[in-house]
Structure 1
C-alpha cells in the first residue's frame, strides 16, 4: 500500500511539471541510452572475439559504430529541419533499439558489425536532434540550467558504461550489453511519441544528394583511417590513403557547401567567431575527459591486474562528481556567460590531472578515486557553458544545423586527438617482451604522460576561455535570440513552445 502511494505521488510530481521539463526528461532517457553505448561495449570486446574467433578484426565492433555515428550526425540537422525534430527523434530512437536487438542476437561476426552500424545510424541522429529539441523548448536565459541536467546523460553515461559493462559481461554475457537497450527503447519510443509535441519544420530545403555522398565517403575514410591507424600502422599505405582521400573529400564537401544555395550542412556557421571558439573549447574539453576514461582503466588493468568490473566501480566517482555540478555549471552559464565557469571548472580538472600525472604503482586506489571525483566536479562546472554559448551564438533557425555540426566536429576532433595520444603512448611503452624490473616504471611513465598532455590541453582551454562571452555579452546574445524566437512564434514556427510558455 505504501509503495503504491509513493508511486502515485511520483507520477503526480512528474505530471505537474511544466511541459518543457517533462519533455527534457523524456528526451534525456533515450539520449542516455545512446551515449552509454559508446563505452559499455568496450569491456565485452574480449568475449565477442572469443565467441566469433575474431581476434584480428575485433576493433570493427567499435569502428563500424563510430563511422555510422559520424555520418548520421551530419545529416541529422537536415532531417530535423525538414520533417520536424520530434518525429525524427522517435524514428531514430526506434532504429537504435532495432540495432541493439540485432546485435544481441547476432549469429556471426559480420552480422554484429552490420548491426553496430545500424545502431550508430540511429544513435548519431538521436543526440543532436535531442539537443536541438532542448534548445527549442527553453528560453535563451534558461538554456544553461536545462542543458546542465541534460548533460548528465552526455557526460556521466561514458563513465557509467564500464561499470555496467563489466558487471554484465562477468555475470550474464556480452549479448546483454546490447539486449539491455531493448526494453528501455520499447518503453521510450511509445512514451516519447505520446508526450513529445512536434514543432513546425524549420525549412523545406532540398536534399543535397551529391554532397551527402561526398561527405559520407569522406567521413568513412577519415574515421576508419584514424580508428585503424594504431593497429595497421600510421605509415601503412592503407592508412595513408584513407586519411588523404578522407581529407580531400571533406575539403570538396566544404567547397560545395559554400557554393550552393541549399547545402546539406551550413558550413558558414564556422565564420561566427563565438560559435567556432565555443566548439573548439567543447571539443578539447571532451578530448581531455577521454584521457581519464581510456588510460586510467588501461593502467589499472595492465599494471595492477585489477578486474574490469572493479575498475568500472573505481571510475564511478567521476560520474558522481559531474552529476553534482552539471546543473550548477548550467546556471552559471546563464547568469555569468561562459568565461567564468569554463575557467574555474577547467582549473579544477587541471589540478586533478596534475596529480594523476604523478601516479605510481603504489598509489592507493582511494587516492586515484578522489582525484577522479575532483576532476568530475570540475568537468560539471566547465563543460556546459561552451555548449550553451555555441547555440546562443547562432540564429534560432540554425539550431538544428549547429547541433549537427558541433557533434560531427567533436567526433572528428576526438578521433584525431585520441589517435595522436595513442601514438605517443605506444611510443613510450616498453616492448611487450620486456619483463625487466624497469619495464613497469617505463609503462607508468607512459600512462602519466597522457595526463601531462591533457593538463596542457586544459591550460590551453583556460586561455581560450578568456575570449569567450562574459556576462554582458551573454545577456546580449540571450536578448537577441529571445527577440528572434518571438518573431518566429508570431510566424507559426515554435508554436508549441509558445503554448508551453503560456501554460
Structure 2
C-alpha cells in the first residue's frame, strides 16, 4: 500500500531531495522529473507483474472522483422544482442552490494547485473526497432553503479541489506518449458526467426522492477514498511553499464578483448599478491579480503557462466548447419539459443517447490523439459540432424526438472527438513543473467559460424572446367575437398566449443555436494550429512508490 497518508514517515517520494530553507524564486526546472525508474513489480495496477499499464488503476481512481464532483453540478438542476416545493421557497431563492455552489467553487479552484504542491496531490485528493461525501450527506439532510444553500457552499470547496488535483495527478502518473488514451478515459468525468446527469437525476427525482441525488455521493466517495489509499502512488510535497495571500485575495474577489454579476445579470439587468459595479470590481481585481503574480517569488498560479501558445490556444478552444456544451445542455431540457410537456425522467431518457455516444467516442479520440496528435480530431470534431448545431437551429415547436436525438448524438460525437485531444495537447505542451498550475488554469477556464457562456446565452435568449413575442403580438389578432367575456373567450386567449410564448421561445433558441454554431466554426482555424503527429515518448511518469 502506497499513499500520501503516511507521507511524513517516508522519504521515497518524487522530488523529495533536500531543499534549502528559503524558497527559490521561480525555479526553472525542479529536480522532479527524472526519478529512478521504479521496479515494475511494485507499480500500482500491475498486480505484481511486469509489463502492462501500471497507470490504469490509479487513473480509474481519479476518474471516479472527477465523475462524482462534476456529476453533482448537472444532476442538481433537475431537482430544483421539487426542492422548491418541499422548502416552500421562491424561484429566486432556489437559484442560489446552484449559484452559491458556482461562486464557492470558482473561489477555491485557484488555491487548489497550491494545496496539491504543498501537501501532496494524493493526500489532498483523498481528503477532498472525504469532505465531499460528508458535505453531500449534509445536503441530503437539508431542512430548508438556507440550510441547503449553506451546505452547497461547503460541498463546493472539495468539489473545486478534486478536478484540479486529479488532473495534475494524471500528468504525474501517465507517460507522455499515453496521455491521449488516459485523457480519453478521464474525460468521462468532464463531459460524460454532465450529459448523464439529467437521466440519473430525473429518475431519482420522479421515482425515488430528490435527496438521493446527494446521498448517492456517499458510497461513491467511500469506495473512492479506499481506492485512493490503496492504489494512488505517493506524490511529492513542497513543505516550505507559502500561500500567496495577496494573490489569492485578488483572484477570489475578482472571480466572485464576475461570477455573481454573470449569474444575477439577467435578473438585475445588465445595465443596473449592482451588475456594473460587480463587473468593474471583478475586472480590476483580476488585473491586480496578474500584477501580483508577476511580482511575487512564489505565485499562487504561475502565469508563465500563458507563454506557451499551444496551451493558450487550447484554453481558447476549451472555452468555445464549454460555452456551447453547457448552453445547449441547459436550454434543450427546458424546451422539452416546458414546451413539449415531457417529465424529468422522459427528458433524461431522450438525452441519454448523446451521453452514450460521448462515452464511446472520447476514449477512441484519446487513442487517435496518441497516433496522430490533436489537429485532425480537434478540427473535425469542432466542424461536426458547428454543423449539427446549425441543423438544430431549424427546430420547430413539434420537432420529432427521433430527429432531435440524432442531431444531439452527432453533436456529442463531435464534442467527444475534439475535447480531449485539445486538453491533452495543451497540457502536454507544458513543462512538467508547470503541470499543477496548468491543471488549475484549465479547470478555471472550463468553469468560468461555462458560467460566462450560460449567462451570455440567457441574456441573448431574454432579448430575442422579448423581441419575438413583441413581433408576434403585433401580428396576432383574435377571431371575431372571441375576445368577449366568458370562459370560452378567456380560454382562447390563454391558448393563444401559450402558443405565442412557445413560438417566441423556439425562435429565440434557434437564434441562440445559430450564434453557437458560428462561434464553434470560428474555433476550427484555431484547431488547425494544434500539433500534428504522434506525441514524443517520455521516460515515464513522475511518480513514486
> TM-score, normalising length from structure 1?
0.90
- Out of 445, 468, 475, the residue aligned to residue 530 of structure 2 is 468
Partner of 1:210: 246
- Out of 489, 493, 502, the residue aligned to residue 440 of structure 1 is 502
Cα distance, 1:172 vs structure 2: 2.3
Question: Secondary structure at the residue paired with 2:86?
Answer: helix
Partner of 2:317: 281
Cα distance, 1:107 vs structure 2: 2.2
Question: Secondary structure at the residue paired with 1:369?
Answer: helix
Against the structure 1 CA distance between its residues 203 and 334, is the aligned structure 2 distance closer, same or farther, given a 3 Å change threshold?
farther
Partner of 1:452: 514
- Out of 260, 267, 271, the residue aligned to residue 231 of structure 1 is 267
Partner of 1:166: 202
Cα distance, 1:336 vs structure 2: 1.6
CA distance in 1, matches of 2:499, 2:438: 52
Question: Secondary structure at the residue paired with 1:435?
Answer: helix
Is 1:405 paired with 2:405?
no
Which of the two has greater helix per residue?
A: 1
Alignment of 1:346-385 (within 5 A): 346-385=382-421
Against the structure 1 CA distance between its residues 436 and 50, is the aligned structure 2 distance closer, same or farther, given a 3 Å change threshold?
closer
Cα distance, 1:19 vs structure 2: 3.0
CA distance in 2, matches of 1:425, 1:357: 13
Partner of 2:34: none
Q: Deviation string for 1:203-232 (max 9, x for gaps)?
A: 842211122122112211111111111122
Partner of 2:169: 133
Cα distance, 1:410 vs structure 2: 2.1
**Count of aligned pairs between the two proteins:** 471
Larger displacement relative to structure 2 (120-129 or 430-439): 430-439
Is 1:269 paired with 2:305?
yes
CA distance in 2, matches of 1:241, 1:132: 35
CA distance in 2, matches of 1:177, 1:26: 21
Against the structure 1 CA distance between its residues 437 and 124, is the aligned structure 2 distance closer, same or farther, given a 3 Å change threshold?
closer
Query: Which structure is larger by alpha-carbon Rg, 1 or 2?
Result: 2
Is 1:245 paired with 2:307?
no
Larger displacement relative to structure 2 (306-315 or 328-337): 328-337
Q: Deviation string for 1:295-340 (max 9, x for gaps)?
A: 1111112221111211111111111111111112112222222111
Partner of 1:301: 337
CA distance in 1, matches of 2:425, 2:209: 42
Task: Tell me if structure 2 keeps the 8 A contact 1:291–1:450.
Answer: no
Partner of 1:387: 423
Q: Deviation string for 1:32-67 (max 9, x for gaps)?
A: 111100100001111222222221311110011111
Task: Tell me if structure 1 keeps the 8 A contact 2:234–2:543.
Answer: no
CA distance in 2, matches of 1:346, 1:18: 31
Unaligned runs of 5+ in 1: 1-12, 487-493
Cα distance, 1:405 vs structure 2: 0.9
Task: Tell me if structure 1 keeps the 8 A contact 2:323–2:452.
Answer: no
CA distance in 1, matches of 2:154, 2:209: 22
Larger displacement relative to structure 2 (188-197 or 398-407): 188-197
Task: Tell me if structure 2 keeps the 8 A contact 1:291–1:451.
Answer: no
Runs (4 or more) in structure 1 with deviation over 6 Å come to none
Cα distance, 1:438 vs structure 2: 4.5
- Out of 312, 325, 342, the residue aligned to residue 378 of structure 2 is 342
Against the structure 1 CA distance between its residues 362 and 495, is the aligned structure 2 distance closer, same or farther, given a 3 Å change threshold?
closer
Partner of 2:27: none
Against the structure 1 CA distance between its residues 495 and 168, is the aligned structure 2 distance closer, same or farther, given a 3 Å change threshold?
closer
Partner of 1:23: 58
Unaligned runs of 5+ in 2: 1-44, 471-493
Cα distance, 1:146 vs structure 2: 0.6
Task: Tell me if structure 2 keeps the 8 A contact 1:321–1:375.
Answer: no
Task: Tell me if structure 2 keeps the 8 A contact 1:65–1:120.
Answer: yes
Task: Tell me if structure 2 keeps the 8 A contact 1:329–1:385.
Answer: yes
Task: Tell me if structure 1 keeps the 8 A contact 2:233–2:543.
Answer: no
Cα distance, 1:94 vs structure 2: 1.1
